[in-house]
Amino acid sequence: MVKLTIREASTYINELAKLSQEKLPVRISYIIAKWFRDLKKETDLASEKFNEIQKEFAETDEDGNIITEKDSEGKDIIVFKDKEGGVDKLNKEYESLMETEVEFQVTQIKLSEVVDRDIKPSTFIILEKVFVDDSEAPEVIH
């Protein structure tokens, strides 16, 4: 099992999407696709939960839609029920949600399988739990 926070999973998704554009062996492409799918499922669920949380703090219309208004720059901002502390409460809930740890049963990619590929160092840094030194872990982490 690999543990990631929802925030980390979001970062991984963006980097995995970039990596999935590379010409890689079928096995590696499959592993990347599986990581992407599993992480996307969790981040989508977190997004749904955040939408629910927003509705708890925001003014809503008769159809249950969040009411927004334009700020001085013309951007839509939420109209909060609690005018003084609504933003802070929502931000606290959001941070709590983003720091929630989720376990994923995934296959890690051995470095020896990508040694001849042109993968940027930043990719290895960002996706540190996707890749594993061959001597450090088995193929599937339980």
- Single-letter amino acid code for the residue at 111: L
Strand partners, 3: 103
- pLDDT of amino acid 90: 92
Q: How far apart are CA 50 and CA 87, in angstroms?
A: 13
Tokens of 134: 């061959």
Q: What is the mean pLDDT of residues 5-33?
A: 94
Q: Which pLDDT value is given to residue 139?
A: 58
Helix axes 6-19, 26-57, angle to 10 degrees: 140
Domain map (residue ranges) of the chain: 2-132
Kindly state the percentage of the chain with pLDDT values over 90. 68
Question: Which tokens in the block code for residue 35?
Answer: 């990581």
For helices 86-98 and 6-19, the axis angle rounded to 10 degrees is 60
CA distances from 114 to 23, 24, 32, 83, 117 (A): 11, 8, 12, 53, 5
Residue with more model confidence, 15 or 85: 15
- Residue 80, pLDDT above cutoff 80: yes
pLDDT in tens, 116-140: 888 889 999 999 999 988 865 555 6
- For the cut 80, the answer to whether the pLDDT of residue 141 exceeds it is no
142: amino acid identity, one letter: H
In the prediction, which pLDDT does 136 show?
Answer: 53
Calculate mean pLDDT across residues 29-38: 95
